[in-house]
Structure 1
Amino acid sequence: MYCNFHHWIFVCLCILTSRICIQGNQSNIETNRNDKLSLPGFENLTAGYNKFLRPNFGGEPVQIALTLDIASISSISESNMDYTATIYLRQRWTDQRLVFEGNKSFTLDARLVEFLWVPDTYIVESKKSFLHEVTVGNRLIRLFSNGTVLYALRITTTVTCNMDLSKYPMDTQTCKLQLESWGYDGSDVEFTWLRGNDSVRGLENLRLAQYTVQRYFTLVTKSQQETGNYTRLVLQFELRRNVLYFILETYVPSTFLVILSWVSFWISLDSVPARTCIGVTTVLSMTTLMIGSRTSLPSTNCFIKAIDVYLGICFSFVFGALLEYAVAHYSSSQKMAAKDRGTSKEVEEVNITNIINSSISSFKRKISFATIEISGDNVNYSDLTMKTSDKFKFIFRDKMGRIVDYFTIQNPSNVDRYSKLLFPLVFMLVNVFYWAYYLYF
């Protein structure tokens, strides 16, 4: 009996507790209803609303109009072939389930977006993106009386931009920002720009480190995929690189190095240390400049860039000035050696001639030529004929001697004299063709 009494007491307490909880929940529901009633027209706003179904489910596709504000483009990387931008993405669509009375608009807490249907817009070719959350998630929900929903986000994204660096640093790059629905194809969702090209703002006011925004325009295209045909919005903008930095950083120093290499043409051929020092120094400086110009670009880059062509031209002229001195100095040394050999040969011929003349005169005094009879008929000329092989060797040596004499520099000082004119003239002509090609073609 005692146990049954306690059991009944426990059952009564549970029943009372449950009634109190039910009454509390009913009071909370009434309070929430009263809160909803405090906003005119919102008392039936969520009645029968299903956030998992799009507006006009089973009917016409939802028209979503977009606008963009480009807050900044923080970095454009040639090595990674991408750019990083912070954008304000605003999407507008009409949901008839959210129509309410009046002509006012209401801005709701961004956390209420979890209870509404929103489009699954994503950024095509995005490597990484994130939504700003300081101090709260940077989202905005605004409802209009006709059921229009404004959904705004602040996003920072890194997007792929395929670049053609063949004219670097005088290049113009075309980058894209593409928006598309992830799951809803064209039969469910259609994207449009709200005001055409005027839907994008902020690009004309950007100040970038290396680029200038030349122009931009918007497009609406279709993306055919295995899961269906999707509407894709495209923002295409052109970035022209500012070449002034590279002119001061690379082009001017390399040009000065080429001009410095020409100083050796005004130095005497006998000043071997001075001319060698200038040549080697300019070659090493050009090599360092060529290596430094590639530090900002990928090591596996297969492009032959405009700056590489110019540095290659400058290196060729610098190296050519060094070779010019080598040729001139070698020709001068050869000429001096030949002159020394000619002098010694003349001295030897004079000595031999004197010896022979003295021997002949003494021999004439001792021998009487009257007793010697020389008959022309007794001379055998068969031994005086030259063999064919000897003739060929003689002709070959004669031809080779003439060829060597033709290419032999008779006056080595003329090498520097011609180089003073040819090197600057050819360098200026090459520069004219270089800048004309890369700036206008």
Structure 2
Amino acid sequence: MDIRRPSCALIILLVLYFTHPTECIQNNGKINFREKEKQILDQILGPGRYDARIRPSGINGTGPAIVNINLFVRSITTISDIKMEYSVQLTFREQWLDERLKFNNLGGRLKYLTLTEANRVWMPDLFFSNEKEGHFHNIIMPNVYIRIFPNGNVLYSIRISLTLSCPMNLKLYPLDKQTCSLRMASYGWTTDDLVFLWKEGDPVQVVKNLHLPRFTLEKFLTDYCNSKTNTGEYSCLKVDLLFKREFSYYLIQIYIPCCMLVIVSWVSFWLDQGAVPARVSLGVTTLLTMATQSSGINASLPPVSYTKAIDVWTGVCLTFVFGALLEFALVNYASRSDMHRENMKKNKKDMVIDPQANIDAASDMMDTDSNTTFAMLARCEVHITRQKNCCRLWMSKFPTRSKRIDVISRITFPLVFALFNLIYWSTYLFRDEDEEK
């Protein structure tokens, strides 16, 4: 009797059918592909079949392994000026070809296999070179997966949170723009064995409606940053995030209050010079408030060696407030001098005029040469004409020197402060980006 030998696949199906019939036959006799996935994984990743310690070969079996990188920025939580760092949460993806993992896709019905254990296959030794802190997300399950495609392509995706260093140039603070980088490099494999490339098309995506408290993400740029050391050349990728600082917050919290303090210090120019307690308390209060404002601003910034734009603003405002206080000291000194002069005039005795002396003087005047008299009168008229200009006429309305100092300060301080504002804003608002670097 001729008995044909059944195939191995038929024997496996028969065994599975009698042991687990409900798992083998579903949906009107169709095979359960989840069981087929298990069989394929055991086939390609079984003991003695695959070694995760050996890197895959490159294109056509030669050259370095090519790993394509893709990022999805989920959120940017904080950007710290004092620590010069920023925190970001992203979905990180790597994709490479490992021909040892090829399998039969059952006529296109099996698109890919999914793994949750990264140590089952070879992984690139990528690390973030400017990372300070970082952690994976494990709630409820580890947020990571590996997909193996029929042609041997491997897709690795994981969600991570990173705190990265961001060296900042604060010369134009708070009118500045900052560039924060995210750098990824190979730790042990040189470019002869492993090369990182940005995925073609759209290598970096950013979540829509990304809101930052004090910054706006203007744009991002991808680039390469291969580094050479004494142990070889290592592949490196970077993405530069360009942040623009939101100025409205600083305008409301710093610039407008400082302007108000400077203007309040000018109120003492309009008070009577005899109101010593009022003018002293006003000057000292505005000076202390301005000093407190300046120290509070510097407390939220790192101690850098250069001068920032906010330092120029607070320093000049503090100088104006201090100048108003010194102006009162000058007014008080001039007022006491004016009182001393008035007392000297009152105590001065009236001079006794001798009538006979006046007659003799008049007769002497009549005997002088008429040409000399006319020349002296002409000189006096020229001298008087030169002195009678607009300023002297206007200042003659204020007989005391203390009052004149107050009047001059009422005009000089606002004009100089307005000129400073014109120079300050034109310098920092219209500064070229190249000068920032």
Q: 1:37 to 1:253 in 2, by over 3 A?
A: closer
**Pick aligned residue for 2:167 from 162, 165, 178:** 162
**Pick aligned residue for 2:36 from 35, 38, 45:** 38
Residue 208 of structure 1: CA displacement? 0.5
**Offset from partner CA, 1:151-181 (integer Å, 9 cap, x none):** 0111111111100111111111111001111
Aligned to 2:334: 331
**Pick aligned residue for 1:215 from 216, 219, 233:** 219
Name the larger-Rg structure: 1
Residue 107 of structure 1: CA displacement? 4.2
1:84-233 aligned at under 5 Å gives the runs: 84-102=87-105, 103=108, 104-111=110-117, 113-195=118-200, 198-202=202-206, 205-233=209-237
Q: 1:42 to 1:272 in 2, by over 3 A?
A: closer
Aligned to 2:412: 422
1:347-386 aligned at under 5 Å gives the runs: 347=349
Q: Which amino acid aligns with 1:114?
A: N
Matched, 1:80 2:78: no
**Pick aligned residue for 2:262 from 254, 258, 269:** 258
CA contact (8 A) 1:177 1:236 kept: yes
CA contact (8 A) 1:106 1:142 kept: yes
Aligned to 1:17: none
**Pick aligned residue for 1:284 from 284, 288, 310:** 288
Q: 1:437 to 1:226 in 2, by over 3 A?
A: same
CA contact (8 A) 1:36 1:42 kept: no
SS in 2 for 1:70: strand
Aligned to 1:399: none
Residue 204 of structure 1: CA displacement? 6.1
**Offset from partner CA, 1:350-397 (integer Å, 9 cap, x none):** 5xx79xx9xxxxxxxxxxxxxxxxxxxxxxxxxxxxxxxxxxxxxxxx
Residue 110 of structure 1: CA displacement? 0.8
Distance 1:178 1:223 in 2: 11
Distance 2:157 2:417 in 1: 58
Q: 1:312 to 1:154 in 2, by over 3 A?
A: same
Distance 2:68 2:279 in 1: 71
**Offset from partner CA, 1:206-232 (integer Å, 9 cap, x none):** 210110011111002321122211111
Aligned to 1:437: 427
Residue 343 of structure 1: CA displacement? 3.0
Aligned to 1:242: 246
Matched, 1:310 2:313: yes
Distance 2:146 2:321 in 1: 66
SS in 1 for 2:298: coil
Aligned to 1:274: 278
Matched, 1:411 2:401: yes
CA contact (8 A) 1:264 1:275 kept: yes
Residue 36 of structure 1: CA displacement? 9.5
CA contact (8 A) 1:283 1:315 kept: yes
Structure 1: which 5+ runs fail to align? 1-26, 358-408
1:60-79 aligned at under 5 Å gives the runs: 60-79=63-82
Q: Which amino acid aligns with 2:419?
A: L
**Offset from partner CA, 1:281-305 (integer Å, 9 cap, x none):** 111111111111122123x332322
Distance 1:265 1:37 in 2: 91
Distance 1:49 1:135 in 2: 30
SS in 1 for 2:50: coil
Residue 146 of structure 1: CA displacement? 0.4
Distance 1:75 1:326 in 2: 48
Distance 2:292 2:186 in 1: 50
Residue 60 of structure 1: CA displacement? 1.4
Q: Which amino acid aligns with 1:223?
A: S
Q: Which amino acid aligns with 1:437?
A: T
Distance 1:63 1:77 in 2: 35
SS in 1 for 2:188: coil
CA contact (8 A) 1:204 1:213 kept: no
Q: 1:203 to 1:169 in 2, by over 3 A?
A: farther
Percent sequence identity is: 35
Q: Which amino acid aligns with 1:311?
A: T
Distance 1:292 1:261 in 2: 20
CA contact (8 A) 1:37 1:43 kept: no
Q: Which amino acid aligns with 1:141?
A: I
Q: Which amino acid aligns with 2:297?
A: S
**Offset from partner CA, 1:5-26 (integer Å, 9 cap, x none):** xxxxxxxxxxxxxxxxxxxxxx
